[in-house]
C-alpha cells in the first residue's frame, strides 16, 4: 500500500475549491460571525490565508482564540470578538466593538446560525431561531453600513431548506413551534433580506448562499435528539460515501469564500448562490411584497430604521 497523503477532503481548502486561492486580500478587513467552528471557522481561516485581517466572532472565548491564533500562525492577523447574537442589545454592542477597531470593513459574512428543537423567546420577545439567524444580521449590517467600503461585500449564509417556509412571519410566539419550520423561515428571511439590502446599499454588494448540508456543523447542537443522531451518523461516515449529498465544513465554506473574494462577482448584488454559481431561490424569496413586509417587520422588532 502506498501513502498518497490524506484524503482530499481532509486537506481541502475552501479558497482552492472556490478558485480564489490566488486572490490577495491584504489590506482588507473581514468580519465573520459564528466563526469559532464549522463553516464559519473554515471561512475565517480561508480569508486569513488570503491575507485579510479577520475579525473572528463567537460565543466561546477559548474556541475563538484558537481560530484567531491559527490565522496568526498562518501569517495573517485576527482579533476575536465574543457576543451572543440572540438579543438586539448584544448585536449593537458587537457592532460598536468592531467600529472601535476599524473605520473600514470590506467583507461582512453573516454566517452565525442556530437550530432549536424547542420554541424559545428572546429577551426582545422574538422567536430565538428568527432572532439569531435573521434579526441579528439585519441589525449588525445596519450598524456597520457606514464603515462598509465602497466595494465592500455582505455575504449572508442562507440554506436550501428555505422553500419549506410558507412566507408567514409570526415570530412573536412559539405556539405550535416546529424547529425545522422555524429554521426554514429564518433562511427564507436571509434571502429576502439580501434582496432588500442590495437595493439600499450604494456601492457595497449583498449576496447570499446555500452552503450545502454539513452534518458535522455545530448548527445542530440544539436540534432534537433524532436530528442530532441523524446528522451525527452522517458526520461519522467516510466522505466518499456521502459526498453526493453532504459536505464537510471546508467544502461547505466554498461558496461563502467565493462570494467574499472572487472578482467574478464584483458588482453582482441581490443574488442567491449555490456551489459557487447563481441559482434561483423559491418564488417567495424574491416576492416584492414579502421583501417589504419582512423589512418593515424587522425594523419594528429590532427598533432600528434604515434610511
Instruction: Count Cβ atoms within 10 A of the Cβ of residue 127 and give its class: 0-12 exposed, 13-18 middle, 19 or more buried.
Output: buried
Indicate if 258 belongs to the active site: no
Give the active site residue among 177, 183, 258, 272: 183
Would you please indicate which residues are annotated as catalytic (active-site) residues? 183
Amino acid at each position: 500500500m502506498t501513502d498518497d497523503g490524506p484524503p482530499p477532503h481532509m486537506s481541502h481548502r475552501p479558497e482552492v475549491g472556490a478558485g480564489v486561492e490566488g486572490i490577495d486580500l491584504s489590506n482588507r478587513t473581514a468580519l465573520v460571525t459564528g466563526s469559532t467552528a464549522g463553516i464559519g471557522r473554515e471561512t475565517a481561516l480561508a480569508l486569513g490565508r488570503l491575507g485579510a485581517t479577520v475579525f473572528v466572532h463567537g460565543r466561546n472565548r477559548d474556541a475563538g482564540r484558537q481560530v484567531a491564533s491559527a490565522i496568526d500562525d498562518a501569517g495573517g492577523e485576527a482579533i476575536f470578538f465574543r457576543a451572543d447574537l440572540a438579543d438586539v442589545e448584544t448585536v449593537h454592542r458587537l457592532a460598536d466593538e468592531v467600529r472601535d477597531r476599524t473605520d473600514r470593513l470590506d467583507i461582512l459574512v453573516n454566517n452565525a446560525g442556530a437550530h432549536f428543537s424547542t420554541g424559545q423567546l428572546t429577551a426582545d420577545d422574538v422567536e430565538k431561531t428568527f432572532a439569531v439567524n435573521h434579526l441579528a444580521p439585519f441589525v449588525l449590517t445596519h450598524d456597520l453600513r457606514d464603515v462598509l467600503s465602497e466595494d465592500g461585500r455582505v455575504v449572508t449564509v442562507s440554506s436550501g431548506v428555505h422553500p419549506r417556509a410558507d412566507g408567514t412571519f409570526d415570530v412573536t410566539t412559539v405556539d405550535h413551534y416546529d424547529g425545522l419550520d422555524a429554521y426554514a423561515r429564518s433562511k427564507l428571511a436571509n434571502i429576502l433580506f439580501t434582496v432588500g439590502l442590495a437595493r439600499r446599499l450604494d456601492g457595497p454588494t449583498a449576496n447570499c448562499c446555500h452552503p450545502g448540508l454539513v452534518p458535522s456543523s455545530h448548527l445542530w447542537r440544539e436540534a432534537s435528539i433524532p436530528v442530532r443522531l441523524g446528522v451525527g451518523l452522517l458526520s461519522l461516515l467516510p466522505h466518499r460515501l456521502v459526498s453526493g449529498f453532504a459536505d464537510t465544513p471546508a467544502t461547505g465554506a466554498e461558496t461563502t469564500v467565493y462570494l467574499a473574494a472572487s472578482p467574478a462577482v464584483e458588482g453582482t448584488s441581490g443574488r442567491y448562490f449555490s456551489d459557487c454559481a447563481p441559482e434561483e431561490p423559491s418564488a417567495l424569496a424574491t416576492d416584492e411584497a414579502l421583501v417589504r413586509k419582512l423589512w418593515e417587520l424587522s425594523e419594528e422588532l429590532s427598533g432600528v430604521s434604515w434610511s
